[in-house]
Chain A
């Protein structure tokens, strides 16, 4: 299709806009912007007050000596030097956290996925099973941890009593430096209801015709799981891994409560937790507990701020690493990949 030469046709010109109309248009544009801003303002205020400002202030405090009682004093990189070269508690805390990330987090994802697969295949009573496996999530963290410490008490707990009836001497669980982290892992596996429900929804959302086609091609249950279900729900797996990794890096509540109540003769929920944080033998002193200990037990808030900045950077780095590697195995839907 050809077009007429420009010289032969007079281009259409808009009639000149009057200054009053221009002004009205500008006002209307501003009104639109203000309306958008007004709708966004709760988020902007919340983000600035509860995230932006604390983050900037925290970054500043990490370069100061701050004991909560007197004004922060600028000390440059001293806190970071102590973090990377002087504090002998940092590496044990990091290695405890890495243990949790390497062992507990994959187990949580696998366990939640496994339960979801089983519940999705239940021919009857799926609702009941779903409820049963989700129920632990409703238990408050502190109560659940107290319950586990009681259940796994080596001397009086029902778990070791049952084990002894079949001739097994149960371990010291929360009171053994070798068993404390596995005990916490068991506790975390017990409470995977949220991840299980998300996996279940994703599994039930896998198109049936894909399974039917695979079945016609002779694929068994395992092959269908591997070649159909897993690729289809891979974005959900990625989501669960990212959430679990971040939660693992911030693991605090259960370890705090367990190390407070597990020591012999400790009061149930009370007591001087500062002396027992990380009990036994520092085996449950995860990185966030060390941060808490420095900030709120030793009133060394400047150093605690430095610890938290490192945690932020590591969390971002690990999350980015997971997301970057995800391109290899996550099948995004609707993007023609």
Chain B
């Protein structure tokens, strides 16, 4: 009996000592600030979503970081999804730093504390968050908790086929959605049997980069007001939807669906814009790099996307979103992980190298003027869109992207004519109710005592 008690005491003491020893890098300093990296050799794990060529670029930036901090070795693992991140955090052995390809789940990460609050680190190291454009500052926090840093963003604008424009007698890209509709009609070509040969512009929400979120800043449409979904109360949504349906009706919903059924895969050389099957499209800045890599034989231009005709001042802005990095709760080496995150997010040369390699938009103002990026006029358009004050993103929510998916579900019915024209507003209000109910259900526990 006495021997058993001694064994238990020894085990408990050992566990206690081990806990104390392992906690040095997690501990907070005397003034409550997080502990600084102690300089001892350490290997940290960094999970990111990149694969192939993009992962190689990321790893070359990490190699530069290793030169700066030779005692920090980074074990970089690509191809990671949000489900992997969640599983690792739940399992209690998360990586030291993780990256998600979108900010859709940031409400979950920040709200639950799954990614730690970075404010103490930002404050301690006097990091200037103002270096990030306002939209980026917005999508890296939730409910006042900044649990993420950005690392490259996407900005959305209009791509147009100059050859098809010239043939149709169009001299400049459209600036409003009315002009876009007129140009789309001029650019559309039909086969003798009446089927579509070339579509001027395809607004279908399930096609390529057309979800409603990408159009919201162009119509100044807001997702919520006073904590409630505002799709049915903000008239901008109905205006956008009506424009969307009018253009689809021009083609004929069934005819357009048949045309789109043979659309090439978006991220491949058979992309319909790259093959000349559509004359204009809303797309991200990455298409510039894709067109170059795919050797697409296309004479094209880029411009800010058109805007609501009644709000011409919005022209120049657009939608943006980007990669977000966070330190998971329970990370073994948060101090070293913070150094890597800070390097990737705020070191200008690292940002420029990564942005050039991936063909994405840098997320700090000092890198936006990088001469290599700005040298390409087609890409420069997106740098300007990104810096425009009217550029915005969708707000992070407690239900992730569920609100967007619920709207999309309604919008596909609206687009194929299943919803009568008179039912638009009531339909949008129905989606509001659905979103609000989902938010209420998803936040039940938070309200519980």
Which of the residues A65, A153, A154 comes within 8 Å of B444, measured between beta carbons? A65
- Given A279-B412, A299-B400: A88 and B257 within 8 A (CB)? no
Interchain nearest-CB distance for A268 vs B (Å):
7
CB of A267 within 8 A of CB of B267, answer yes
Residues of B within 8 A of A65 (CB): 442-446, 448
In the bound complex, what is the Cα–Cα distance between A293 and B448 (angstroms)?
A: 24
Interface size class, chain A: 35 or more
Interchain nearest-CB distance for A71 vs B (Å):
9
Identify the stretch in A52-60, A78-86, A322-330 within 8 Å (CB) of chain B at 4 or more residues: A78-86
B158 contacts the other chain (CB 8 A)? no
CB of A281 within 8 A of CB of B437, answer no
Which of the residues A67, A88, A281, A300 comes within 8 Å of B413, measured between beta carbons? A281
CB of A264 within 8 A of CB of B204, answer yes
- Given A69-B86, A70-B113: A265 and B437 within 8 A (CB)? no
A187 contacts the other chain (CB 8 A)? no
Interchain nearest-CB distance for B62 vs A (Å):
25
Residues of A within 8 A of B402 (CB): 297-298
CB of B442 within 8 A of CB of A156, answer no
CB of A299 within 8 A of CB of B418, answer no
- Given A275-B211, A278-B409: A69 and B261 within 8 A (CB)? no
Residues of A within 8 A of B252 (CB): none
CB of B444 within 8 A of CB of A78, answer yes
Cβ proximity bits B173-212 to A, threshold 8 Å, 1 near / 0 not = 0000000000000000000000000000000101110010
Interchain nearest-CB distance for B258 vs A (Å):
5
- Given A278-B409, A279-B206: A299 and B441 within 8 A (CB)? no
For window 84-117 of B, CB contacts with A under 8 Å fall at 86, 89-90, 105, 108-109, 112-114
Residues of A within 8 A of B408 (CB): 275
Residues of B within 8 A of A78 (CB): 441, 444
- Given A175-B257, A264-B204, A267-B267: A281 and B409 within 8 A (CB)? yes
Cβ proximity bits B247-291 to A, threshold 8 Å, 1 near / 0 not = 000000010011111111111000110000000000000000000
Residues of B within 8 A of A303 (CB): 441-442
B399 contacts the other chain (CB 8 A)? yes
For window 398-449 of B, CB contacts with A under 8 Å fall at 399-402, 404-405, 408-409, 412-413, 416, 418, 430, 433-434, 437-438, 440-446, 448
CB of A156 within 8 A of CB of B261, answer yes
Residues of B within 8 A of A82 (CB): 437, 440-441
A194 contacts the other chain (CB 8 A)? no
CB of B445 within 8 A of CB of A265, answer no
Q: Which 8 A-B pairs have the closest CB atoms?
A: A65-B445, A155-B262, A73-B445, A264-B260, A155-B261, A69-B114, A154-B261, A69-B112
